[in-house]
Chains A and B, each alone.
Chain A
């Protein structure tokens, strides 16, 4: 006997586009208990005018279920790579242990930014007025959290064997060179929601992502770091979605009202230079920290920025009345100098860093000379050769003191005049009777645009002198930073270099020693 149970006819599955429409547009509602201004208090004070939030086009049309399904598959593949790399002692097949200095810089400097981005996109997912941009921000918020977590898992394997990987979160909040990326994000997060979109989604993730993020992943692939490379691939589709969000945000805002154009132009002017200054750390990494270099900073800058952005993107934006960023010519003028000036900073101060540095050897200098025919032999080779002479006699020069920092980018003031690689650029402003020093016309312009903001900068050197960083001596400060003996200083002879040599000793030599 069978009992017929009444069954509802199976519901027709909606097409992705319809589900997306329902999820974004149709889940929105008109507030009745509070005014719209109270519900969204942050979307008007920056002066941006939006007339129609439905004008926001999200080309990805992602829904929650498709998002999770896709991300779970990617995670599965990534974690399989991580397991097999760990089980097969994959770290021994890196190009050299000194390569990991780039990855130390990454986990200390970049991973915490992913977390900061997660937090702020969650805020945008609540406070943007349109349902479509809110949903796009929600997806990006989850992406950023996932990136932070997967980067920690990817890189934690190295923490078992190498120095400098242990206290990156604390270091990010405290250490001098990490105040460079941290203060950029703090600057963006303390701006209004639209400025944040232009700063992080557009300037950081669209304009400069190929110079800020991709070099680490390419460096990983050239130097045998399969886990970091796999993370890069896994994040790639998210990053292209984030870039699209950046581009969509700027086009949407420009199309909404002509009055938005000068506001956005000023944000592009500011945030190009802010993000470009952070990329100086990446420039140093690319040219000096990779045992097998991918391409020079100069070549990357020409390809990814000059050709793709100045040659491709900005002619499109001209239609809206947007010009290339102010001070872009200064960045172009610096491309033969930037990496050298910044690596010299890291080399002078690595006694207080959670990575090590070394003087480039002759082969490395030959490569640099080839890549930088106009500048290297004249300005930088003599400096490195002097270091080589001192080190041949058993010395190692570190800067016996604390540097002067730029009030805006917080990088030691080591940048030279755009037309003279031989003299340091000093810019200064007076505000409320106090002197403020900046490293460039770009940083000076940013300071003078909003001096009330930048006078509050937490400059690591000044904070040490105010007694806020653990004590007056270098060991006090290093302890407060969370830097342990051997994390810092010179690479040659460091614990990492010694372990590496030990692990790669020829079996015959190893036997003869026992």
Chain B
């Protein structure tokens, strides 16, 4: 179904990838952690290596929970599919696109 309107109803998405230049949004969820209430949103360069994304962005956020131990992160998923991480490959290379959801367990 479409919006009922008196004119052609056609507007661009507010968060289309073009609005973020060389970057994109990535969501990261710590599975089973009810202490941090939701997944986090990051703006990260598409070319950023995964290892750097984890150390520079995910770890400082996950450390909000004092029990966080970076060495225990495992079982990564991209959306619902399990996913092989590679620290030296970029987000784009790994197929992590704009507004993708990554999850991990500890």
Residues in A lying within 8 Å of B, measured CB to CB:
41-42, 45-47, 192, 341, 344-345, 348, 379, 383, 386, 390, 395, 397-405, 412-414, 422-424, 426, 428, 432, 434-437, 449-450, 452-453, 455-459, 461-463, 465-466
Residue of A390, A434, A452 touching B99 (CB-CB under 8 A)? A434
The interface bits of chain B over 1-44 (1 if a CB of A lies within 8 angstroms of the residue's CB, else 0) are 11111100111111111011000010101011011111111110
A423 to B10, CA, bound (A): 36
**B-side contacts of A457, CB under 8 Å:** 14
Given A424-B29, A434-B99, 9 more A-B residue pairs with CB atoms under 8 Å apart are A345-B38, A397-B65, A400-B61, A403-B39, A404-B41, A412-B38, A450-B1, A462-B41, A465-B20
Q: Which B-chain residue is minimally distant from A405 (CB atoms)?
A: B41
Residue of B11, B25, B34 touching A383 (CB-CB under 8 A)? B34
**B-side contacts of A399, CB under 8 Å:** 36-37, 40, 61, 64
Q: Are A400 and B20 in contact (CB under 8 A)?
A: no
Residue of B34, B41, B64 touching A400 (CB-CB under 8 A)? B64
In this assembly, does B46 line the interface, its C-beta being within 8 Å of a C-beta of chain A? no
Q: Are A435 and B98 in contact (CB under 8 A)?
A: yes
Residue of B4, B41, B60 touching A46 (CB-CB under 8 A)? B4
Q: Which A-chain residue is minimally distant from B36 (CB atoms)?
A: A399
Q: Given that A399-B64, A401-B64, A403-B40 are contacting pairs, would A422 and B3 also be in contact in the complex, using a CB cutoff of 8 Å?
A: no
- Report the minimum CB–CB distance from A497 to chain B (whole Å): 23
Q: Are A428 and B13 in contact (CB under 8 A)?
A: no
In this assembly, does B55 line the interface, its C-beta being within 8 Å of a C-beta of chain A? no
**A-side contacts of B47, CB under 8 Å:** none
- Report the minimum CB–CB distance from A336 to chain B (whole Å): 15
Residue of A432, A449, A455 touching B14 (CB-CB under 8 A)? A455
Q: Given that A383-B35, A462-B41 are contacting pairs, would A428 and B65 also be in contact in the complex, using a CB cutoff of 8 Å?
A: no
Residue of A47, A402, A450 touching B40 (CB-CB under 8 A)? A402
A195 to B42, CA, bound (A): 36
**A-side contacts of B106, CB under 8 Å:** none
**B-side contacts of A414, CB under 8 Å:** 37-38
**A-side contacts of B29, CB under 8 Å:** 404, 424, 426
Q: Given that A345-B38, A412-B37 are contacting pairs, would A395 and B66 also be in contact in the complex, using a CB cutoff of 8 Å?
A: yes
Q: Are A390 and B66 in contact (CB under 8 A)?
A: yes
Number of B positions contacting A (CB below 8 A): 44
Q: Given that A428-B101, A437-B99, A456-B13 are contacting pairs, would A403 and B38 also be in contact in the complex, using a CB cutoff of 8 Å?
A: yes
24 A-B pairs with C-beta separation under 8 A: A41-B6, A42-B6, A45-B5, A345-B37, A386-B35, A400-B64, A401-B42, A401-B61, A402-B40, A403-B37, A403-B38, A403-B39, A403-B41, A412-B37, A414-B38, A426-B39, A434-B17, A437-B27, A452-B9, A455-B14, A456-B13, A458-B14, A459-B14, A463-B14
In this assembly, does B82 line the interface, its C-beta being within 8 Å of a C-beta of chain A? no
A453 to B2, CA, bound (A): 9
Q: Are A461 and B41 in contact (CB under 8 A)?
A: yes
A357 to B67, CA, bound (A): 22
Q: Are B1 and A449 in contact (CB under 8 A)?
A: yes
Q: Are A462 and B14 in contact (CB under 8 A)?
A: yes
- Report the minimum CB–CB distance from B2 to chain A (whole Å): 6
Q: Are B3 and A450 in contact (CB under 8 A)?
A: yes
A111 to B61, CA, bound (A): 34
Q: Are B35 and A400 in contact (CB under 8 A)?
A: no
The interface bits of chain B over 65-93 (1 if a CB of A lies within 8 angstroms of the residue's CB, else 0) are 11000000000000100000000000000
Q: Which of B43-60 contact A (CB under 8 A)?
A: 43, 60
In this assembly, does B100 line the interface, its C-beta being within 8 Å of a C-beta of chain A? yes
Q: Which A-chain residue is minimally distant from B9 (CB atoms)?
A: A452
**B-side contacts of A45, CB under 8 Å:** 4-6
Residue of B11, B17, B19, B38 touching A424 (CB-CB under 8 A)? B38
**B-side contacts of A463, CB under 8 Å:** 14
**A-side contacts of B15, CB under 8 Å:** 434, 459, 462, 466
Q: Are A413 and B3 in contact (CB under 8 A)?
A: no
- Report the minimum CB–CB distance from A378 to chain B (whole Å): 11
**B-side contacts of A348, CB under 8 Å:** 36-37
Q: Are A404 and B100 in contact (CB under 8 A)?
A: no
Q: Are A422 and B5 in contact (CB under 8 A)?
A: no
- Report the minimum CB–CB distance from A370 to chain B (whole Å): 21
Q: Are A47 and B4 in contact (CB under 8 A)?
A: yes
A42 to B5, CA, bound (A): 10
A453 to B14, CA, bound (A): 11
- Report the minimum CB–CB distance from B91 to chain A (whole Å): 15
A397 to B29, CA, bound (A): 18
Residue of B20, B34, B63 touching A422 (CB-CB under 8 A)? B34
A341 to B37, CA, bound (A): 7
**A-side contacts of B40, CB under 8 Å:** 399, 401-404
A453 to B98, CA, bound (A): 20
**B-side contacts of A434, CB under 8 Å:** 13, 15-17, 98-99
A450 to B66, CA, bound (A): 42
A98 to B54, CA, bound (A): 38
A265 to B82, CA, bound (A): 40
**B-side contacts of A46, CB under 8 Å:** 4
- Report the minimum CB–CB distance from A368 to chain B (whole Å): 15
A405 to B14, CA, bound (A): 14
- Report the minimum CB–CB distance from B62 to chain A (whole Å): 9
Q: Which A-chain residue is minimally distant from B43 (CB atoms)?
A: A465
A57 to B6, CA, bound (A): 29
**A-side contacts of B25, CB under 8 Å:** 462, 465
